[in-house]
Structure 1
Amino acid sequence: MARRLFIALACLLATAPAMAASDGYDYHAGNRQLIRNGVQAVLTCNGLFTSRRTLEQVFDQELAYLESRVLGDATGGPYAVDRARRAVTVGGGEHGPAVSAAFRSGIGCIVMEPGAPLASIDQLPALPSPDPAAGAGVPWPDGDLVETAPLPEAVDAAALQAASDWAFERPTAEQDTVSLLVVHRGRLVHERYAPGFDAATRTRTWSTAKSIAVTLMGLRAADGRLELDAPLGIDWLPPLASDDTDPRNAITLRHLLHMSSGLYPVDSFGMEYASGSGLAYWAGASSVDGARRRGLVREPGTFWDYENYDTLLAVYALKRTFADEAAYHAYPREALLDRIGMRNTLLSMDRFGDFILSSQVYTNARDLARFGLLYLNEGRWQGEQLLAKEWIDFVRTPAPASAPRGNDYGGQWWLVPDDRKGEVPADAYSTAGNRGQFVLVVPSHDLVIVRRGLDYGKQGFDRWALLREVLKAFPRAR
């Protein structure tokens, strides 16, 4: 009976978008307008105060993917920049609800409650700010002192430059590479930035943040505080009289990290900027409450569906392992970021103090290269085993529900699809974020490749093709 119910609900869900489209009325128009304003506020705020770029650069690149949804331009419009408070407000009046985002120490820009006055900024969370300059005299990879030396004879310099040119000189302006780093055998052998960017520039990771999130969970699992297949203990919404009978209790951390929770989709089927996590990312809603309100429509583990809320539920499960919020807020920097020299990385939060580790992290290319090195070295950093090899094996093993897709997804990391194996090493795996944020780890060639982008339009930057091009410069290392 239960399985028939799952199937019936799945069929209903599959037809829901078509039914909504035939209705002819957009019942989410208000949400779309609210989110539109919030997207512009967040990206402008972070562009100015986290990435430290000019307003002209923000409109030209950070906001390019929004196309006609942008309000105004760099000369002015229905938005306001408060440089003293480090805040941006977009909208108001005929342009929909005013949404503000404000920069906070150690976090980046936080979305405020729609319509909230800027005078309430001090009520938002803040954390100690890392000092990127502290790594200036520290040798790579713990710091930013990079040895200048000729390439090893075994590396084909011309082929490496050709691969770099391939990444930057794309046939379409929609693929906008802003940085490329290549690390071989622990050494930074290639580093290139587009005009307006340098080694210190932080940009948004988008969903590459998910791979950082699963790393923090792996560190917590090593402490015995999280288990892949144990009950999550989540207090689902709405609260039920008999919580022990809630079918969502069958969902495990493994299901969430495999993107196969079975929960109702809220970001799929064209709804990403109308409901679901979009309200938390851009409109000031709680990233936790929305995640806990989804009902079960499929048997956990049986269907792959890429949902930001699956990651955010896993992050919430991580939070519940701490005795208090202060310990939770300190954990990412103490357990991971400071230990591998990620001094430029800011993990953003919602206004309620919950990390939005499905997307909202700002960092530079070098910090992502360090992150990739941790995985390349199977969890070891400077001789210390930080992350268990078993956890790394988990994240790079295909999720069972991803088989129909070509076994291209593990545990919050992407894998080489079946139809690309042979073109590139099958052992490669990658983070992936919107607008072209990739960290590729290639154990068989002792390589880490970081590509950052501000892609827009149809995007479609092919990271496996980039790997193919880079490999032309390197011998097989292992």
Structure 2
Amino acid sequence: MKKTIKIVVFLLLVSIAYIGFTYYPKLDIITGYASKNEASVIFLAHRTQNSAEVQDNNFSPINLAKETVNQNEKSVSATVFGIKKRTAVYREGLGTVLMIDGVKDSLKYDIPHRDFKRINLPYPYGDLPQKDTVFTNVNYNELQNAVENAFDKGENYQKKTRAVLVVYNDHIIAEKYAEGFDKNTKILGWSMTKSITSAVLGVLEKQGKVSVNQSNLFPEWKNDERSKITLNDLLHMNSGLEWDEDYNNISDVTRMLFLDKDMSKTQLNKPLVGKPNNSWNYSSGTTNLLSGFIRNQFKTHQQYLDFWYSALIDKIGMHTMMIETDLSGNYVGSSYGWATPRDWAKFGLLYLHNGNWNGEQILNKSWVTYSATPTNGSDGKYGAHFWLNAGGVYPDVPRDLFSCNGYQGQHVFIIPSKNVVIVRMGLTEEPDFDFNAFLKGVLASIK
């Protein structure tokens, strides 16, 4: 018996040593992700702790973390075998922020002013139910089959779709949610938030406050070649700045999201390693750099916080949306936008209608065209913080499709030639979810 216990203890110690050796350098990232994600799911999206741990954090190596929830403080702490504790705290109006060792939180911070005024118009332009409308050119049975096929059936858990919404001619013609989700559930869009950041710059462009061709964007760049980088280069992810977007290892992006107090400065200090407008490289650091650029357009931090909502988000009735901030109070425009699928669809409709929202021009039509125009070196895949189908990524779908894309298969697809916006939220990407087949099936139902 004693020999058996010794063997068990030895194997346990070996296992702990192996995990420690393998994962210790990543513990900041693992515990940071686990605590931040779970806190947002619980306190922002109002889902259960069990739901967060079984669904959102249940993948390797994040599932190594053990989370502890403090309801009174609205915080979540995470450790791996009691090692490297990280804590995330929910701030009303700003979302969840991940605390960083050695950084003091004064708990004094500005909160954006929101306009939640109800509008007595049907969806999407107001808060009333949409009018019952049947389109004779829509095969509803075929549409329903295409939507049903996007979800798992029985005990199969591969597609992991959480929501599908199809809007045609400004009417929801199909809507389905997985168990535990409904039309009122806020879902993290991850990098779909990048397109929101681009749109904020589009509003500033319409107001004549910025130009895509302007250079000398930051004082820190004035004495070197980076001064030649234009706003256009940053919007196209074509700045030539050094950046490593690797989520499987300790990299520029993981250090930024889970270790940096001010994410707007992470890429600011990176050297130029390529030629601007000739070095396409997808970078979350670039988007948060743009968030910092937007901040510089305002005299006060309060004005910066308010503008995203007053000029865009609340302006088009995306009242469930929240863009979370970093520890310095800057919007994490690369990754942390939450909203219901219906509100994500509203953003798609703004672009479907060339920047016009129920008669008011929020963005210049030229900005929408610019957003959906391929940049150099992307093989027709990328525009100005939007993904494109110009290069035929989805071969059976119209080439004019452009979209907001996010980690784990979050998408707002905008298809002007079909007058359609399609939202799909989930936990899987290709090849576990066949987006080409999904889109083909939905669009085939609209004759």
CA positional deviation for 1:272 = 5.8
Per-residue CA shift, 1:195-226, capped at 9, x if unaligned?
A: 10011101111000011110000001111211
Per-residue CA shift, 1:420-463, capped at 9, x if unaligned?
A: 5762111111110001110011111110101111237x765343
The answer for the alignment partner of 1:40 in structure 2 is 34
Gaps of 5+ in 1: 1-25, 237-242
Matched, 1:80 2:53: no
Alignment TM-score, normalising by the size of structure 2 = 0.89
Output the amino acid matched with 2:56.
E
> 8 Å contact 1:280–1:350 — kept in the other structure?
no
Output the amino acid matched with 2:41.
G
Per-residue CA shift, 1:110-147, capped at 9, x if unaligned?
A: 11123778xx573455434665xx54965211334223
CA positional deviation for 1:83 = 0.3
Per-residue CA shift, 1:325-376, capped at 9, x if unaligned?
A: 1100000110011111100000111010111001111111010111111011
More displaced, 39-48 or 312-321? 312-321
Distance change (3 Å), C-alpha of 1:110 and 1:61: same
> 8 Å contact 1:97–1:115 — kept in the other structure?
no
> 8 Å contact 1:416–1:427 — kept in the other structure?
yes
Matched, 1:318 2:294: yes
Gaps of 5+ in 2: 1-19
> 8 Å contact 1:98–1:115 — kept in the other structure?
no
Q: Distance in 2 between matches of 1:161 and 1:271?
A: 35
Where do residues 342-421 of structure 1 align in structure 2 (5 Å cutoff)?
A: 342-403=318-379, 407-420=380-393
Distance change (3 Å), C-alpha of 1:427 and 1:198: same
User: What is the total number of aligned residue pairs between the two structures?
Assistant: 427
Matched, 1:434 2:410: no
Q: Distance in 1 between matches of 2:217 and 2:248?
A: 27
The answer for the alignment partner of 2:3 in structure 1 is none
Where do residues 127-206 of structure 1 align in structure 2 (5 Å cutoff)?
A: 127-128=112-113, 131=116, 135=118, 138-147=121-130, 149=132, 151-169=134-152, 173-206=157-190
Q: Distance in 2 between matches of 1:258 and 1:460?
A: 28
Percent sequence identity over aligned pairs: 29
More displaced, 333-342 or 274-283? 274-283
Output the amino acid matched with 1:410.
G
> 8 Å contact 1:146–1:188 — kept in the other structure?
no
| SS of the residue 1:97 aligns to | strand
| SS of the residue 1:98 aligns to | strand
Distance change (3 Å), C-alpha of 1:279 and 1:311: same
Q: Distance in 1 between matches of 2:127 and 2:435?
A: 26
More displaced, 292-301 or 280-289? 280-289
CA positional deviation for 1:172 = 6.5
Matched, 1:114 2:101: yes
Matched, 1:307 2:283: yes
> 8 Å contact 1:29–1:274 — kept in the other structure?
no
| SS of the residue 2:424 aligns to | strand
Q: Choose the corresponding residue for 2:435, options 441, 463, 472.
A: 463
> 8 Å contact 1:100–1:114 — kept in the other structure?
no
Distance change (3 Å), C-alpha of 1:203 and 1:378: same
Q: Distance in 2 between matches of 1:70 and 1:187?
A: 40
Distance change (3 Å), C-alpha of 1:421 and 1:48: closer
The answer for the alignment partner of 1:445 in structure 2 is 418
Where do residues 62-101 of structure 1 align in structure 2 (5 Å cutoff)?
A: 62-64=56-58, 66-71=59-64, 77=66, 79-91=67-79, 95-101=82-88
